[in-house]
């Protein structure tokens, strides 16, 4: 199954008016999570985007849909951030030339969910089949309503033109239904990548960003469900938790193998209880073996509590372990964990 990545790029620099970007992304994420075709999409997010962050994210993730949320002007282009969080414009020509390159790598749709972005959409459409821009100022509520309906339609299996019309229909009551503009380039014929194309790599076959392997004993259970899982889901990551994604009536080892196989990484929550849990040991051995077979590093170990290193199997202790029990670095380690899960699989 080919999985489409949707990349959301958000920027709201310090000196610009506040936008409800977090609400927009949360509602898109929630809509895709409930969609009947949810396994065909993966939502990726990048915040406080600078120009180099924009092209780096597209290079790293190879999205099919690129969505920008923020400010823009007809004359100067979209408003990104500089190194100090201040406004930095990415002009129309720069956007057009950037997406000309990435259209050749599989970008099929660009959505500029920002005011006065029709000119930029027109220029980008010379290279990308579907481009959506805004013909005038669009309010926060309208921008959110349009985006949510657009992705709800895609998640239901509808095409981009239908999704666009559904999005516009949700703006009638706000009298902004004519603000979004869809540019279609009929000369571009895009097809789904086949299993033999470079874009359809190992990365395209995952339904989840990570599988969480842990010992179902306290305090591990409470920490996984009340702290780790909400933190990862708030970053837009798709999570499979041991024991939660299993099909009733199927042998547990088969369920575990299926879930780990569909997950890009496998987080192992190390604790004293984890080290003596036979099923947890099976999960981490399976995840590590899959990585060895495909030439990647799938396991992502983290410490829930201090553990003597000599108690860890060598195959785990040789890996870099994130220390979420550290009294000073725990928050920094959490950020490193999220960043690791947002990147492509590291290769051996």
Whether the per-residue pLDDT at 47 is higher than 70: the answer is yes
Domains 4-184 and 206-342 are alike in CATH topology:
yes
- pLDDT score recorded for residue 200: 43
pTM for this prediction: 0.63
Encode pLDDT of 97-156 as tens digits: 999 999 998 999 999 999 999 999 999 999 999 999 999 999 999 999 999 999 999 999
Q: Which CATH superfamily is domain 206-342 in?
A: Toll/interleukin-1 receptor homology (TIR) domain (3.40.50.10140)
* Gap between the Cα atoms of 147 and 1, Å rounded: 25
Q: Which residue has the higher pLDDT, 78 or 305?
A: 78
Distances (CA, A) of 252 to 183, 221, 268, 309, 314: 49, 19, 18, 30, 27
Angle CA(42)–CA(339)–CA(147) in degrees, nearest 5? 35
Encode pLDDT of 201-257 as tens digits: 555 567 889 999 999 999 999 999 999 999 999 888 889 999 888 778 888 898 899
In the sheet with 65-69, reading across from the earlier edge strand, the strands are: 41-46, 4-10, 65-69, 109-113, 130-134, 180-184
Residue closest to 88 by CA, chosen among 48, 139, 133 = 48
Where do the structural domains in the chain lie, given as residue ranges?
4-184, 206-342
> Which CATH architecture is the domain 4-184 placed in?
3-Layer(aba) Sandwich (3.40)
255-258 contacts, C-beta under 8 A, 24 or more apart: 256/282, 256/283, 256/286, 257/286
pLDDT band at residue 199 under the 50/70/90 scheme: very low
Token pair 């359809």 in the structure block, residue: 200
């Amino acid at each position: 199954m080919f999985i489409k990545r949707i990349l959301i790029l958000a920027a709201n620099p310090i000196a610009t008016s506040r936008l409800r970007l977090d609400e927009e992304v949360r509602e898109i994420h929630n809509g895709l999570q409930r969609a009947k075709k949810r396994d065909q999409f993966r939502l990726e997010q990048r915040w406080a985007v600078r120009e180099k962050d924009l092209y780096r994210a597209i290079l790293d993730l190879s999205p099919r849909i690129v969505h920008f949320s923020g400010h823009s002007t007809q004359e100067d282009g979209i408003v990104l951030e500089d190194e100090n969080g201040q406004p930095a414009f990415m002009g129309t020509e720069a956007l057009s030339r950037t997406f000309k390159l990435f259209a050749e790598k599989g970008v099929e749709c660009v959505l500029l969910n920002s005011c006065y972005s029709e000119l930029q959409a027109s220029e980008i459409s010379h290279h990308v089949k579907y481009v959506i821009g805004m013909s005038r100022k669009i309010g926060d509520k309208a921008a959110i309503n349009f985006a949510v309906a657009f992705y709800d339609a895609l998640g239901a299996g509808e095409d981009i033109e239908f999704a666009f019309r559904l999005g516009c229909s949700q703006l009638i009551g706000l009298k902004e239904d004519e603000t979004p503009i869809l540019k279609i380039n009929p000369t571009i014929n895009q097809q789904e990548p086949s299993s033999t194309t470079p874009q359809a790599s190992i990365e395209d076959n995952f339904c989840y960003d990570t599988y969480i392997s842990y010992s179902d004993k306290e305090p591990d259970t409470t920490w996984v469900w009340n702290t780790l899982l909400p933190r990862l889901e708030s970053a837009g990551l798709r999570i499979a938790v041991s024991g939660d994604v299993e099909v009733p009536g199927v042998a547990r080892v088969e369920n575990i193998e299926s879930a780990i196989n569909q997950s890009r990484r496998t987080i192992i929550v190390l604790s004293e209880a984890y080290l003596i849990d036979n099923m947890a040991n099976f999960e981490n051995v399976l995840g590590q073996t899959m990585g060895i077979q495909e030439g990647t590093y799938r396991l992502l170990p983290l410490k829930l509590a201090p553990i003597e290193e000599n108690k860890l199997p060598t195959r785990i202790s040789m890996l870099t372990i994130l220390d979420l029990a550290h009294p000073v670095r725990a928050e920094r380690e959490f950020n490193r964990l999220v960043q690791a899960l947002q990147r492509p699989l590291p290769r051996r």
